[in-house]
Amino acid sequence: MRAASPTRRTRPRGSSPVPEAVVVGAGVVGASVAFHLAERGVETLVLDREGPAAGSTGRSGALIRCHYPTALEADLARESLTGYFERWHERVGGGCGFTRTGFAYLAGEDRVEALRHNVNLQLSVNVETELVTPDELRELDPSLDLGGVALAAYEPRGGYADPAATAAGFLRAAKQLGARFERRRVMGLRVERDLLTGIETDSGPVSAGVVVLAAGNGSAPLAEDVGLDLHLRPSRVQVAVFERPYSLATHLTIIDSVLGFYARPAAEQATLAGLRDRFEWLDDAEDWRREPDPDFPGETGALLGKRMPALSGAAYRAGRAGVLDMTPDTRPVLGPAGPDGLYLAAGWSGTGFKKAPAVGAEVARWVCEGQPRRKDLAAYAPDRFRRGELIFGAYEPLQRSPH
């Protein structure tokens, strides 16, 4: 079932606008959905109990790359890069902090076959990428010690962006198109005879024919109200920021599957890094430590210094922890589900930021036209878990990463 395409409503002069669509969550995905709905003329209200990028978005590593083990994900990341991050000022307005450094995925001998397969897959959807040998990669970035690396995938257009600026930029552009944002806690969904009629908030009800749940782990209890199990599990992850010596002006953004970490340059002569497989599963998405574990900077810094000797012993500047909304296959739950009018955009498992622009466009099209442009997105419905139809690339879980 799906909601009828929203249409513009007339209202008395001076009255408050009645939203046709409510987006729950003002992270980068929710803000992107709101922007694209507003572009289509849908009266849109964005609700968040805090503010833009106050949750996992603001704590994202914010790598920009198209290296994924499925063609659909690579294509969403490609469109987000070439259609939005690289053209942010003209497409959205303002700035998102996108910085092109080049991106490399480093693989050991045991992952060469998978790397070759994935690069061919990415080339099939027009991602600009290539396989490079360690010697060729060293020419691109002389700061790298490539011990243990057998082959790498290189994307010259990859890099990173500012996650908070990206979400705020989408939301600001949405508001310029007529959308509204309010700080409210959403308490539940309102349903009458299998038809969504709106939401309940801590300051009263809101009527709407369409609701998009894009609130990360906070989407799960709202979905449970209408009998939907999103299979979300909160997981705490951490990043650390290190001083970068002035002798190293910059470096590639990398995912290192050999040593098990990722890194990118950061503002003010620094480098941000995190561990690929260090998760802490949580019983409560609201109860977690905001600061990194005491051993985290040392463990992360040691790996960083091994791969980039210029950063060996680099001073630890700061760190942060965040909570991911993980699904069993690390793919999101997307599209219409449950009562007519309810749409999902959650369960990003740490990979939503770089795909959010294209995903927002697809969700808005789904709402307004009844289907996304990429028909394969229908496979991301939450009932896939019940059916045992999880989504993995040909060489997963070997290549799985939340970053």
pLDDT per residue over 99-133, tens digit each? 999 999 999 999 999 999 999 999 999 999 999 99
pLDDT band at 286 (very low <50, low <70, confident <90, very high): confident
Q: What is the pLDDT of residues 391-400, one digit of tens each?
A: 999 988 544 4
**pTM for this entry:** 0.93
Quick check: 8 pLDDT over 50? no
Query: Is 41 within the bounds of a domain?
Result: yes
Quick check: 12 pLDDT over 80? no
In CATH, what number is assigned to the domain containing residue 263?
A: 3.30.9.10
Quick check: 10 pLDDT over 80? no
Query: Is 81 within the bounds of a domain?
Result: no
Are residues 219 and 277 located together in one domain of the fold? no
Closest among 333, 358, 332, 351 to 400, alpha carbons compared: 351
Of residues 2 and 313, the one with the higher pLDDT is 313
Q: How many helices (H) and strands (E) does the chain have?
A: 10, 21
Query: Is 396 within the bounds of a domain?
Result: no
Average pLDDT of span 255-271 = 96
Are residues 370 and 382 located together in one domain of the fold? yes
pLDDT band at 2 (very low <50, low <70, confident <90, very high): very low
Quick check: 59 pLDDT over 90? no
> SS3 of 192, please?
strand
Strands 261-266 and 253-256: antiparallel
- Report the C-alpha gap between 258 and 266 in whole angstroms: 22
Quick check: 230 pLDDT over 80? yes
Query: Is 76 within the bounds of a domain?
Result: no
- Report the C-alpha gap between 22 and 209 in whole angstroms: 8
Query: Is 262 within the bounds of a domain?
Result: yes
The domain total for the chain is 2
Query: Is 362 within the bounds of a domain?
Result: yes
- Report the C-alpha gap between 109 and 53 in whole angstroms: 39
pLDDT given at position 7 = 40
Residue 102 main-chain phi, psi, to 5 deg: 85, 145
| 136 phi-psi bin (left φ>0, alpha ψ -120 to 50, beta other) | alpha
Are residues 32 and 141 located together in one domain of the fold? no
- Residue 240's DSSP bridge partners are 273, 319
- Report the C-alpha gap between 80 and 98 in whole angstroms: 12
Query: Is 65 within the bounds of a domain?
Result: no
In CATH, what number is assigned to the domain containing residue 333?
A: 3.50.50.60
Q: What is the pLDDT of residues 169-187, one digit of tens each?
A: 999 999 999 999 999 999 9
Dihedral, CA atoms, 104, 108, 109, 114, nearest 10 degrees? Answer: -60
Domain of residue 227, residue span: 21-58+164-232+329-387
Average pLDDT of span 348-366 = 96
pLDDT given at position 17 = 59
Range of lowest pLDDT (54-63, 254-263, 288-297, 303-312): 54-63
Q: How far is CA 111 from the centre of its chain?
A: 25
State the DSSP H helix or E strand holding residue 364, giving kind and residue range, or none if neither. Answer: helix 356-369
Across the chain, what does the average pLDDT equal?
92
Closest among 127, 111, 130, 35 to 72, alpha carbons compared: 127
